[in-house]
């Protein structure tokens, strides 16, 4: 089913479906929405072949809810959506973070707000991914920029969700989702697939939210013989509602610390000639491809620019942005929105660094020429 080690022409959304199958997905609950639908369509065809479950639910709220139920029942689970569907899933995402349920949500970003431009690209959900739920808690969001990365990052998203017991977002976009590229798949033996740690303690000692050793405890599944309670209410180590300050504090600190104390394992960036350049393009997702093309075009004009790419969007690579970008003359930030991650770059760099936005929200890709134009103005 997975073309391990082979070379194929593959679409981005197809690569996500294949990555999910490679990860051992056992449940997909979803609702059709452009431009993510191919993920569901492929899994509808493939999952029954593996004995896994595909179900088209009645809406996106039901989709994410069924995914969480399935994950608590022991299945690796995922949903895929876009724009309006992602908005509908926000309450569920918060529930997943609070109840510490591993699953993957793919958001193939399309232009908004509202119904917007359903078949066209944007990067408008970056801040929604971070702050879309009520209450606050950290999130993990990965951002692919090629079809091969759609495959690899879906596996990584599953691995991180199982390891950290939390929902993981894969923020793709319409261009990456619908693009076809020649992909050489990794060999099976070179890919690491992680499964959630399961408890070995006697049933009567089991705590569904035990803090040791790394703020993430082994997780039993419903039906495994461990009987436990799960709730979205703030809960104690056993999962029962609590308002005791010491228990509430422990829970909330643990939700944060399980992410922020392991940034080294989570945060990934890519840099191209950043050290040697005074001008750097900060770009992610499909725009990163334009940034790399712009870098080559500028090279031909004897203008040296670097490219800095956050691969993990959340948690944001604060340390890396400071380290690589804070001493630069200019950072160009092309984004398919009206300015989202540019504020993070501004937050982490001194006033001496000139931040230049290049923004489009008309549903079209930012071209390399537009980035070159912005660079030529400042160089």
Partner 1 sequence: MAAILPYEYKYLRAKKKFPHVWCPGCGIGIVMGSIIRAIDSLGWNKNEIMLVSGIGCTSRMPVYLDFNTLHTMHGRALAFATGVKLANPGLKVIAVMGDGDALAIGGNHIIHAARRNIDITSIIVNNFNYGMTGGQHSPTTPMNAVTATSPHGMIEPGFDTCALLSAAGASFVARATVYHVVEMDGLIRQALEKKGFSVVEALSPCPTNYGRANRLGDAVKMMEEMRDNSVTVTKAAKMTPEELSGKIVRGVLAEREAPEYTDLYRDLCERVQGKAAEVPK
Question: Which residues contact partner 1 by CB under 8 A?
Answer: 26-27, 29, 48-49, 51, 53, 55, 57-59, 61-63, 65-75, 77, 91-92, 95, 221-223, 225, 227-233, 240-241
Does residue 320 contact residue 311 with C-beta atoms inside 8 Å?
A: no
| CB of 198 vs partner 1, minimal distance in Å | 14
| CB of 223 vs partner 1, minimal distance in Å | 4
| CB of 372 vs partner 1, minimal distance in Å | 48
Q: Is 132 helix (H, G, I), strand (E, B) or coil?
A: coil
| CB of 151 vs partner 1, minimal distance in Å | 23
Q: Which is nearer to partner 1, 51 or 213 (CB)?
A: 51
Whether omega before 213 lies within 30 degrees of 0, making that bond cis, reads yes
| CB of 239 vs partner 1, minimal distance in Å | 9
Residues paired with residue 329 on neighbouring β-strands, in sequence order: none
Does residue 220 contact residue 206 with C-beta atoms inside 8 Å?
A: yes
**Of 39, 41, 32, 34, nearest in space to 111 by CA:** 34
Q: Which is nearer to partner 1, 5 or 241 (CB)?
A: 241
**Residue 88 CB neighbour total at 10 angstroms:** 18
Per-residue CA distances from 124 to 112, 172, 215, 300, 329 (Å): 7, 11, 32, 32, 27
Q: Which residues contact 324 (CB under 8 A, 6 or more apart)?
A: 269, 271, 274, 275, 280, 308
């Amino acid at each position: 089913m997975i073309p391990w080690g082979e070379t194929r022409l593959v679409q981005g959304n197809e690569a996500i479906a294949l990555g999910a199958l490679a990860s051992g997905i056992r449940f997909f609950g979803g609702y059709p929405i452009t431009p993510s639908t191919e993920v569901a369509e492929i899994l509808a065809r493939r999952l029954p072949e593996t004995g896994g479950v595909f179900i088209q639910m009645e809406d996106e709220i039901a989709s994410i809810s069924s995914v969480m139920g399935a994950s608590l029942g022991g299945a690796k689970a995922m949903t895929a959506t876009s724009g309006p569907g992602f908005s509908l899933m926000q309450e569920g995402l918060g529930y997943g973070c609070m109840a510490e349920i591993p699953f993957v949500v793919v958001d193939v970003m399309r232009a908004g707000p509202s119904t917007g431009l359903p078949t066209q690209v944007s990067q408008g959900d970056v801040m929604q991914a971070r702050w879309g739920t009520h209450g606050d808690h950290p999130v993990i969001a990965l951002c692919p920029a090629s079809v091969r990365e759609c495959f690899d990052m879906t596996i990584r998203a599953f691995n991180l969700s199982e390891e950290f017991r939390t929902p993981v977002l894969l923020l793709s976009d319409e261009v990456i989702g619908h693009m076809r590229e020649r992909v050489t798949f990794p060999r099976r033996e070179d890919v690491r697939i992680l499964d959630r740690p399961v408890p070995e303690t006697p049933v009567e000692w089991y705590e569904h939210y035990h803090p040791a050793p790394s703020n993430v405890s082994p997780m039993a599944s419903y039906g495994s013989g461990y009987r436990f309670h799960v709730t979205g209410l703030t809960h104690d180590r056993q999962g029962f509602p609590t308002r005791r300050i010491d228990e509430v504090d422990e829970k909330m600190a643990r939700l944060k610390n399980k992410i922020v104390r392991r940034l080294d394992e989570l945060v990934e960036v890519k840099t191209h000639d950043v050290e040697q350049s005074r001008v750097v393009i900060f770009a992610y997702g499909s725009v990163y491809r334009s940034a790399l093309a712009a870098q080559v075009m500028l090279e031909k004009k004897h203008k040296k620019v670097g490219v800095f790419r956050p691969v993990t969007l959340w948690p944001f690579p604060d340390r890396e942005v400071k380290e690589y970008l804070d001493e630069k003359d200019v950072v160009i930030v092309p984004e398919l929105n009206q300015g989202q991650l540019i504020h993070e770059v501004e937050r982490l760099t001194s006033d001496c660094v000139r931040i230049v936005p290049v923004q489009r929200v008309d549903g079209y890709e930012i071209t390399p020429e537009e980035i070159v134009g912005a660079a030529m103005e400042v160089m």
